[in-house]
Amino acid sequence: MSVVRTGDRIDLAHVIFPVGKRPEIRLCESFRVEGAEGDALARLAQSRGLKRYRCASLLGENQYRMAQLESPAVPLEERVQALRWRLKDMVDFPVDGAAIAVADIPTEGGRQANVFAVIAPQSVVAGKMAAFHAARVPLEAIDIPEMAVRNVAALFEEPNRGLAFLVMQAGESLLTISFGGELYLSRQIEVSAQGLADADTERRQQMLERLALELQRTLDNFDRQYGFISVSRLLVCSEFDTDGTVAALAQNLYLPVQAANLSMVAAFDGIPELRSSERQAQSLLAIGAALRGDA
């Protein structure tokens, strides 16, 4: 079960993997947070029986820093410590005691090995753990949005092809490129679904043109860096006007652009509201976090 704080709400998602079948989304709900987050967790623990699940949560976009770095030439057991000192000039909080996680970026042909290094302040991680502990909710993992999106994107991947996946929510948009179930690129883009919804027609067109330009530049740079990966398409998941966004981007990009539709890769017969593309976008991070154990 994922328990994800997004703005003024908490999203829950529970996904199972039946043998030989598509993943099944058993639960997907959102609750407005009124008062302290710990109180909301405690209420959900009781009303939704969260104690029965292995729970995962996500850090908020401003609670951590993610960087792509050359893999240090040290033994595996020393890698985190070596990266800690590289990261100290990239963050504005103490690296001593900070939580650090490392994800390898697969390579080929003798290329320099790179890694994603994720660092979060000790106080942020400890605070989240304490909130779950106080609510008696078993917290198994604290993940980040990039990996949650990667988990969903992996369901849509075609054999031997890379996949670009754009998630547009209230904050900045998140673009990932994955290949073989591995994350190769992650980038925040300062165009949001909320911004598009609030803009007039002329301003919205300008924002979509800027978004297309940023996407094209990123795809071109990715092609130069990872020539062995052929990105087959861009999937778009947006909380606002998914069809209009897809149409606008398709006019300006050289690769196919499609709306991400979870019904193509997952079952959710008991959750009819997930047929809406906007609801899928709203719940995507929670669903991705719930896929963590099996992705």
Say which CATH number the domain at 170 has.
Answer: 3.30.420.40
Alpha-carbon Rg for the chain, nearest whole angstrom, is 19
Q: Is residue 272 part of a domain?
A: no
Q: Are residues 11 and 102 in the same domain?
A: no
- 213-228 per-position pLDDT tens digit: 999 999 999 999 999 9
Q: Are residues 114 and 134 in the same domain?
A: no
Beta 231-238 vs 257-259: how paired, if at all? parallel
pLDDT at 135 over 70: yes
Question: How many H helices and E strands in the chain?
Answer: 8, 13
Q: Is residue 71 part of a domain?
A: yes
- Up-side HSE of residue 49: CA atoms within 13 Å toward CB? 4
Q: Is residue 166 part of a domain?
A: yes
Q: Total domain count for the chain?
A: 3
Q: Is residue 15 part of a domain?
A: yes
Q: Under a CB-based contact definition with an 8 Å cutoff, are residues 294 and 54 in contact?
A: no
Q: What is the DSSP letter of 74?
A: S
pLDDT of residue 295: 44
Mean pLDDT of the chain: 93
- Please, which pLDDT band fits residue 109 given cuts at 50, 70 and 90? low
Residue numbers of the domain that contains 107:
65-120
Q: What percent of the chain has pLDDT over 90?
A: 87
pLDDT of residue 110: 61
d(CA 284, CA 261): 11
Q: Are residues 210 and 154 in the same domain?
A: yes
Q: Are residues 69 and 22 in the same domain?
A: no
The number of residues in the chain equals 295
| Mean pLDDT (whole number) for 135-162 | 96
- 241-279 per-position pLDDT tens digit: 999 999 999 999 999 999 999 999 999 999 999 999 999
Q: Where are the beta strands (DSSP E) in the chain?
A: 2-6, 9-16, 24-32, 55-58, 65-70, 99-105, 114-120, 139-143, 162-168, 173-179, 182-189, 231-238, 257-259
pLDDT at 108 over 50: yes
- 165-215 per-position pLDDT tens digit: 999 988 889 999 999 999 999 999 999 999 999 999 999 999 999 999 999
Q: Are residues 137 and 14 in the same domain?
A: yes
CATH number at residue 92: 3.30.1490
CA angle in degrees (0–180, nearest 5) for 143-215-236: 60
Q: Are residues 34 and 154 in the same domain?
A: no
Q: Are residues 167 and 232 in the same domain?
A: yes
Q: Are residues 166 and 215 in the same domain?
A: yes
d(CA 210, CA 207): 5
What's the whole-model pTM score?
A: 0.94
Q: Under a CB-based contact definition with an 8 Å cutoff, are residues 175 and 185 in contact?
A: yes
- Please, which pLDDT band fits residue 101 given cuts at 50, 70 and 90? very high
d(CA 131, CA 27): 22
Q: Is residue 213 part of a domain?
A: yes
Q: Are residues 160 and 185 in the same domain?
A: yes
Q: How many CB atoms lie within 10 A of CB 133?
A: 13
pLDDT of residue 38: 85
pLDDT at 88 over 70: yes
d(CA 164, CA 86): 29
Q: Are residues 17 and 96 in the same domain?
A: no
User: Can you spell out the DSSP letters for 19-70?
Assistant: TTS--EEEEEEEEE--S-HHHHHHHHHHHTTGGGS-EEEE--TTS-EEEEEE
Q: Is residue 285 part of a domain?
A: no
- Return the structure tokens found at 221: 């740079």
> Residue 49, by phi and psi: left (phi above 0), alpha (psi -120 to 50) or beta?
left
